[in-house]
Copies of this chain bind each other. A is one copy, B any other.
Amino acid sequence: MAVVTEHININTKGKADIIDITDKVRSKLTRTKLKDGTVTIFVIGSTGGLTTIEYEPALVSDIKGLFDKLIPSNIQYAHDATWGDANGHSHLRASLLGPSLTVPFSGNELTLGTWQQIIFIDFDNRSRSRKVVLQFIGE
Contact = CB atoms under 8 A, between A and B. Distances in A.
A51 to B, nearest CB: 5
B98 A98 contact: yes
Nearest to A93: B66
A46 B54 contact: yes
Contacts of A81: 58
A116 B131 CA distance: 14
A106 interface: yes
A78 B60 CA distance: 9
Interface of A: 1-3, 5, 36-38, 40, 42, 44-46, 51-54, 56, 58-59, 61-63, 65-66, 70-71, 77-79, 81-82, 88, 91-92, 94-104, 106, 111-113, 115-116, 133, 135, 137-139
9 shortest A-B CB distances, which residue pairs? A104-B135, A58-B78, A45-B113, A1-B1, A59-B79, A3-B36, A46-B116, A46-B54, A58-B79
6 contacts: A3-B139, A5-B104, A46-B53, A52-B98, A56-B82, A62-B91
